[in-house]
Amino acid sequence: MSDIAISDIEAIRSRFQADIDTASDLSSLDAIRVSALGKKGEISMMMRGLGKMSPEEKTVMGPALNGLKNDVAALVDIRKTALENEALDAALASEMMDMSLPVSRKNGTLHPVQQVMEEMAVIFSDMGFSVAEGPDIEDDFHNFTALNFPPGHPARDMHDTFFMVPDSDGQQKVLRTHTSPVQIRTMMSQKPPIRIIAPGRTYRCDSDQTHTPMFHQVEGLVIGEDIHMGHLKGCLMDFVSAFFETDVDVRFRPHHFPFTEPSAEMDVRYERDGASIKIGQGNDWMEILGCGMVHPNVLTACGINPDVYQGFAFGMGVDRLAMLKYGMPDLRDMFAGDPRWLGHYGFSPLVQASLESGLS
Ligand code: PHE
């Protein structure tokens, strides 16, 4: 008979069980596992002794040692799960957040550009527009060609375009110079009647007090069977009065854009009051947007029959309108990311712009 007996195995099992049950953390539990089942662990060494036993002893001790090994492994697993759950419960208790606490206004504000875009969405959705989007990195077709800028047309140069490195297939993408490509994407994927606005970032290689290389526009597009210039004027006049929350006198000046015919720019009446600007009345005019009736070539490029459908489009600079409405003096501050500026000019993220309760 070898020097280990069945009674020893029982004693070893109880000893390990007691150690495992009182292990206080995962690392001490693992130390116990190694001391029992590791390469040089107590139980592993005992199993190694089986080779030197007589066949009769082996038939008794083999299953007994195997049982011991499996039991200890199972006890370790159970304790491990329990310790992991305890750790999770402790973390949940100590990292608890009270979702019912009031929010601190200091923790963040809506950027005025975001605020103004939301105000515009509120006004235009009240007029039945939905919001469309397109990519900032555009191809030449959507940014220029389909908008009736033929290749080599001088109007392309006026856009101060940022060009991307050409793709492997030789295609040279651009950072969109305006939100008008979203007109094209919308007309190619939707059937008239169409009534959308498209807010977003636009890019031109230009930088001074009143220009930043990245700026924001909101595009508008309305297509139907009986849309005319009167709809364009009424829509935009209603828009500016709603936006500036006062009666605003406007005028339309003839202009040129390749993608609209006729084209116009819309000015609003304003006056200077010391350092600030009052929109609505006064003797001076300020240009705030470009607009016009969608050119038949643009409709055709999008697969829309210009003999059946027509419509109008407009595009306005959001940053400019935000500065006018909320009195920010320098465009470049808008994108400097200074928390003091954001704290001063930012809006509460918890107050939603609405026509009923007021836009701002
Ligand atoms: N895309 C023009 C611009 O950026 C604005 C515009 C849009 C003009 C739609 C007419 C119609 O200058």
SS3 labels along 89-122? HHHHHHCCCCCCCCCCHHHCCECHHHHHHHHHHH
CB 72 within 8 A of CB 13: yes
Task: Give DSSP secondary structure letters for 259-298.
Answer: TEEEEEEEEEEEEEETTEEEESSSSEEEEEEEEEEEPHHH
| Confidence band for 211, pLDDT divided at 50, 70 and 90 | confident
Is the CB–ligand 1 distance for residue 314 below 6 Å?
A: yes
| pLDDT score at 173 | 94
Q: 151: CA distance to ligand 1 center in Å?
A: 19
Cβ within 8 Å of residue 176, ≥6 positions away: 134, 135, 136, 137, 138, 142, 143, 200, 202, 203
Using one digit for the tens of pLDDT, what is the confidence trace for 255-301? 999 999 999 999 999 998 887 888 888 899 999 999 999 999 999 99
The burial class, CB within 10 Å (0-12 / 13-18 / 19+), for 277 is middle
Structure confidence at residue 104 (pLDDT): 67
pLDDT tens figures, 37-68: 999 999 999 999 888 989 998 898 999 999 99
245: number of Cβ within 10 Å: 14
Q: Which of 116-130, 131-145, 234-248, 327-341 shows the lowest mean pLDDT across its residues?
A: 327-341
Could you tell me if 265 and 287 are in contact, meaning their C-beta atoms sit under 8 angstroms apart? yes
For residues 203-214, average pLDDT = 87
Contact (CB, 8 A) for 199 and 121: yes
pLDDT at 352: 79
Average pLDDT for the chain:
92
Calculate how far, in angstroms, residue 109's C-alpha sits from the geometric centre of ligand 1.
Answer: 30
Which atom of ligand 1 is found nearest the CA of 177?
4
Question: Is the N-terminal amide bond of 193 cis, ω within 30° of 0?
Answer: yes
| Residue 223 bridge partners (DSSP) | 194, 311
Ligand 1 pocket member 178 (CB < 6 A):
yes
**AA letter at 274:** G
The per-residue pLDDT for 105 is: 58
133 labelled binding-site residue? no
DSSP labels, 15-56:
HHHHHHHH--SHHHHHHHHHHHHSTT-HHHHHHHGGGGS-HH
Torsion angle of alpha carbons 282, 286, 289, 293, nearest 10°?
70
Quick: pLDDT tens for 171-184: 999 999 999 999 99
Cα separation values, 305 from 141, 222, 296, Å: 19, 15, 8
For ligand 1, whether the C-beta of 196 sits within 6 Å is: no
Biggest CA–CA distance in the chain, Å, is: 116
CA 179-181-186 angle, 5° bins: 105
Both tokens of 15, joined, read 């000893």
**What whole-number distance in Å separates Cα of residue 13 and Cα of residue 7?**
10
Ligand 1 atom 4: residue of nearest CA: 178
Strand 284-294 and strand 174-175: pairing? unpaired
pLDDT at 224 over 90: yes
Q: Name the residue among 290, 122, 314, 295 with its Cα closest to residue 219.
A: 314
User: Where does residue 24 rank: exposed (0-12), middle (13-18), buried (19+ CB within 10 A)?
Assistant: exposed
Indicate if the pLDDT at residue 2 is higher than 90: no
Whether residue 117 is predicted with pLDDT greater than 60 in this model: the reply is: yes
Measure the CA–CA gap between 306 and 261, rounded to whole angstroms. Answer: 13
Q: What is the DSSP letter of 316?
A: E
Please answer whether residues 222 and 194 qualify as being in contact, where contact means their C-beta atoms are separated by less than 8 angstroms.
yes
Does the pLDDT of residue 1 top 50, yes or no?
A: no
**Which of 17-31, 89-103, 281-295 bottoms out in mean pLDDT, i.e. has the lowest?**
89-103
CA 168 – ligand 1 centroid, Å? 31
The residue-averaged pLDDT of 230-234 equals 97
Tally of CB atoms within 10 A around 300: 14
Q: Is 143's C-beta closer than 6 angstroms to any atom of ligand 1? A: no
- For residue 106, what pLDDT is reported? 63
